[in-house]
Amino acid sequence: MEIVLLLVWRGLRLRCPRCGQGKLYRRLITLTMYEHCQHCHWRFEREEGYWTGAMALDLVVAELLAATYIIALSVLGAPLLPELAVGVPIAIFCPLLFYPHAHSFWMTIDFLLHPTPLL
């Protein structure tokens, strides 16, 4: 359990899941990602199509947030216009805001399933 919490902490900080030292992004604003960790040299993109899971994770989190918001307001009897006025932007902008962390958490999940020792 401790290793899972450690890896989640590394994911939140956008650090290499293997060593926790190297940064994932050169520039967060432009989302320019390093090819490998600057500290332990672990390659971030494992194979072609590797980030498909990260995109799916990103989309699922955003849609769950939007659906939770809209359903909660519907249960409370709120009018449809305020629900959509906030729910639709959540569905559009959350994936953009969560994108770097989706990559980080996807690598964390991959590292949990396929750990590699530090040399």
Residues 62-82: tens digit of each pLDDT? 999 999 998 999 999 989 898
- Residue 87: the pLDDT is 87
Q: Rounded distance, CA 80 to CA 78, Å?
A: 6
Q: Tell me the percentage of the chain whose pLDDT exceeds 90.
A: 68
Nearest Cα to Cα of residue 46 among 119, 112, 105, 111: 111
Count of domains forming the chain = 1
User: At 43, is the secondary structure helix, strand, or coil?
Assistant: strand
Q: Rounded distance, CA 55 to CA 58, Å?
A: 5
In-domain check, residue 86: yes
Q: Rounded distance, CA 15 to CA 62, Å?
A: 22
Cβ-based burial of 98 (10 A; exposed 0-12, middle 13-18, buried ≥19): middle
Residue type, 66: A
- Residue 7: the pLDDT is 93
- Quote the pTM value: 0.83
In-domain check, residue 94: yes
In-domain check, residue 119: no
119 has a pLDDT exceeding 80: no
**Main-chain phi, psi angles of 70, to 5 degrees:** -65, -40
- Residue 10: the pLDDT is 95
Q: Range of 41's domain?
A: 2-113
In-domain check, residue 74: yes
* Mean pLDDT of the region 12-39: 91
